[in-house]
Structure 1
Amino acid sequence: MGSQRGPAAGWGSSGAPEAADNHGALAQTYARITATVADLADTDLLRPTRCRGWLVVDLLFHLTLDAQRALVALATPAAGPADVDAVSYWRTPADPGEGRHAAWVRRCAAAFDHPTGVVRLWTDTAPAAVRAAGMADPDGFVASQGRVLAVPEFLATLVTEAVVHHLDLTVDLPDPPEPEPTAVEIAVATLDGLLSDDAVRPADWSDRDYLLKATGRLPLTAPDRLALGEAAGWFPLLG
């Protein structure tokens, strides 16, 4: 995901949870994704998601790549200081190769004999990433996608992406588990930082509404735009 935001406040002002909460939230949100997909039949893994052109199996493969990226980053500490935090990380312009990545993910997921093969890969990889996160120095730094982050901030970026993609993953699945509440708080804090101190989300939005509208999954209505004022032009805050 990439950011399309306007002015943003710093992460420290957003009220995000601390390092231990970030690790716990990552563990819980990955566990809920596992609970969502673990018992799905191949036919259910071929249901659509909110990510255009991606089936459940494709999005799960993308999430597995994210967990693999976490494993690599956490196993190779970087020298500080950080050059981004858990909010400014998302301000990097969208990668012009994202369209190619989407097609590559589809091809990779389709290469498995059965979609459940991707589930097995996820269930091997996600817990390993969580364990690595738990063993990482909370005062240390990691490098990921060309940026340097403090470990807790890096974990918060993983949580934010996982929460949004949990909502993407479950749009066509029957009775899926909801994202983990602490993880939702971290994702919401990220969006608050991107929205800035000069604007607030409409009072009638739930956290779910906020996550879906601020990431472009749902369109802004006319009342939304009126309530947001100038800030409506910053949406989506994340792509």
Structure 2
Amino acid sequence: MTVPAVREAFRDECDRLVAVLRDLTEDDLDRPTDCRPWTVRDLLAHVRTGLGRLTDMLAAPPPPRAEVDAAGYFGAAKFTPPVDAARVDSGRREGRDLTAANLADDVDRVWRATLDAVDAQPSDRVVRTRHGDAMTVVEFLRTRVVEVGVHGLDLAAALDRPPWLTPAAAALVADLLTGGRPAPAALGWDRLTLIRKATGRAPLTAAERAAVDAAGFRWLSFAP
């Protein structure tokens, strides 16, 4: 995808999330999510941290060249039990500091600072991820759209709200999941259904799994 398209998807999805956060209560933040054992509060702490990673990464010296793309970032080998355990503990620890009163403004500040940092760099600038991968800043920004978009589906479910996935983010995530190819027409999936199925947010039937396997979709190892 082009740099403007990735930037638009990130901006739109973050802006929509902040709008949702503005009317949440403390009781809302304590609701359980399907990303167990996280509450809404813990999951939002995880999302906020993920949105801000690029700022620190861009402050570090760049690696000499990119080694993986956005799809490669979600490789299964990275999400080992110790990595998952550390991710869960971090979300719960950082969630303790979140309150409904300051959450929206805090998340808004974080994503805008990230986009400002990205805009100050050339699109081929290389960064190193927390997993040690070298990626271009645009490819890493694609992973941030996946994180905020898919976890937005988790948050909507936990809050008993309709999903708010924006068109730009849905297009980016679906494109990443399918390697840029359309889903098999026989499945009859729209983008939201595709994303839910491909990330484990909705179950696959046996017939759907056979069609997906035949199409060769690029399933991501997206942590639940």
Structure 1: tracts of 5 or more residues without a match: 1-16
Shift of 1:29: 1.0
Instruction: Say whether residues 1:81 and 2:81 are aligned partners.
Output: no
Question: Aligned equivalents of 1:109 and 1:43: distance in 2?
Answer: 14
Which TM-score applies when normalising by structure 2? 0.84
Shift of 1:231: 7.1
Equivalent residue, structure 2, for 1:43: 27
- Which residue identity is paired with 1:152? V
2:196 to 209, 212, 235: 212
- Which residue identity is paired with 1:67? L
How many residue pairs match? The answer is: 219
Question: Aligned equivalents of 1:216 and 1:87: distance in 2?
Answer: 16
**Could you say if the C-alpha distance between residues 172 and 215 of structure 1 is closer, same or farther in structure 2, counting changes exceeding 3 Å?**
same
Residues 200-221 of structure 1, C-alpha deviations (whole Å, 9 max, x = no match): 5853222112111111122212
Equivalent residue, structure 1, for 2:128: 143
Question: Aligned equivalents of 2:222 and 2:16: distance in 1?
Answer: 22
1:130 to 115, 120, 129: 115
Shift of 1:62: 0.3
- Which residue identity is paired with 1:222? A
**Could you say if the C-alpha distance between residues 78 and 109 of structure 1 is closer, same or farther in structure 2, counting changes exceeding 3 Å?**
same
Q: Is the 8 A contact 2:24 2:100 kept in 1?
A: no
Equivalent residue, structure 1, for 2:90: 104
Q: What is the aligned-residue identity percentage?
A: 31
Question: Aligned equivalents of 2:215 and 2:33: distance in 1?
Answer: 28
Instruction: Say whether residues 1:26 and 2:10 are aligned partners.
Output: yes
Instruction: Say whether residues 1:178 and 2:164 are aligned partners.
Output: yes
- Which residue identity is paired with 1:106? R
Equivalent residue, structure 1, for 2:145: 159
**Could you say if the C-alpha distance between residues 159 and 235 of structure 1 is closer, same or farther in structure 2, counting changes exceeding 3 Å?**
closer
Secondary structure of the residue that 1:171 maps to in structure 2?
A: helix
Q: Is the 8 A contact 1:214 1:238 kept in 2?
A: no
Shift of 1:226: 3.7
Instruction: Say whether residues 1:95 and 2:80 are aligned partners.
Output: yes
Q: Is the 8 A contact 2:46 2:91 kept in 1?
A: yes
Shift of 1:83: 0.4
Instruction: Say whether residues 1:60 and 2:49 are aligned partners.
Output: no
Secondary structure of the residue that 1:128 maps to in structure 2?
A: helix
Question: Aligned equivalents of 2:169 and 2:217: distance in 1?
Answer: 27
Which TM-score applies when normalising by structure 1? 0.80
Q: Which has the higher contact order (CA 8 A, sep 6+)?
A: 1
Q: CA RMSD in A?
A: 2.7
Secondary structure of the residue that 1:78 maps to in structure 2?
A: coil
